[in-house]
């Protein structure tokens, strides 16, 4: 099993550009999450999904959109990139509710200039 995979590993965007961060898991997990990690700030939840077709906002959803058309994939869309979106983005998945282990991908480092 590959677990959770993310692409790209690193990307530089210009202000106002858009991009999609890809996330795929092969563990048949229903629950998937997108976090951003900023220095000294820990991990902040952007969006999460409890199954295909069901998504909901986390703590910091502004400037992002998600979709979940399959169990495996949970892409994160950035529209009109801003410098404040410079961060490291992690996708995670779990098999159940809050007491289940979350498995993280290797992350995507995004720089918005």
**Which of 65, 73, 82, 104 is the binder for other proteins (CB under 8 A)?**
104
- What is the pattern of x (binds other proteins, CB under 8 A) and - over residues 46-85? --x-x-------x---------------------------
- The answer to the question of residue 41 lying near other proteins (CB under 8 A) is yes
Q: Does 45 bind other proteins (CB under 8 A)?
A: yes
Q: How far apart, in whole angstroms, are the C-alpha atoms of residue 25 and residue 6?
A: 9
The residue (of 54 and 80) whose beta carbon lies closer to other proteins is 54
Give residue 16's region: left, alpha or beta (phi > 0; psi -120 to 50): left
Considering only 1, 14, 40, 62, the residue that binds other proteins (CB under 8 A) is 40
- Whose Cβ is closer to other proteins: residue 14's or residue 40's? 40
Cα separations (Å) of 33 from 94, 102, 109?
A: 9, 9, 17
Site of interaction with other proteins (CB under 8 A)? 4, 31, 33, 35, 40-45, 48, 50, 58, 90, 92, 94, 97-99, 101-107
């Amino acid at each position: 099993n590959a677990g959770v995979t993310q692409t790209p590993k690193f990307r530089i965007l210009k202000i106002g550009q858009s991009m999609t961060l890809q996330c795929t898991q092969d563990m048949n997990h229903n629950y998937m999450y997108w976090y951003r990690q900023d220095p000294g700030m820990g991990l902040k939840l952007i969006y999460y999904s409890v199954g295909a077709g069901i998504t909901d906002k986390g703590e910091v959803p502004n400037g992002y959109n998600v979709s979940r058309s399959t169990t495996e994939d949970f892409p994160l869309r950035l529209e009109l990139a801003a410098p404040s979106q410079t961060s490291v983005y992690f996708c995670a998945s779990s098999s159940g509710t809050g007491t289940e282990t979350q498995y993280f991908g290797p992350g995507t480092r995004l720089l918005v200039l």
